[in-house]
Amino acid sequence: MTDVAFVALACGLIIGIGALGACIGVGIMAAKYIESSARQPELMNVLQTKVFLLLGLIDASFIIGVGIALWFATANPFAG
């Protein structure tokens, strides 16, 4: 395979594994939030703020990975 094929494969892996990790993280976090708010409804507002903050951080890490993958795909820094 050529170098371009390896870059395309790497970009696909970066985006795919990043999306998988972000989806699993958001799913676990949402499940724990629903479970904890069902146990103690008086803490729902405090927990909701923290959930949205963590949701932004989890999605930001995935979006940074997509940006790096797009950078590799458009301007290959490893090309000689």
Distance CA 59, CA 52 (A): 10
Q: Is the pLDDT of residue 7 over 70?
A: yes
Q: Which are the catalytic amino acids?
A: 59
Residues for the chain: how many in total? Answer: 80
- In 63-77, which positions are buried (b, 16+ CB within 10 angstroms) versus exposed (e)? eebeeebeebbeeee
For the segment 16-68, what is each residue's pLDDT rounded down to a tens digit? Answer: 999 999 999 999 999 999 999 999 999 999 999 999 999 999 999 999 999 99
Two structure tokens written together for 2: 């050529």
pTM: 0.78
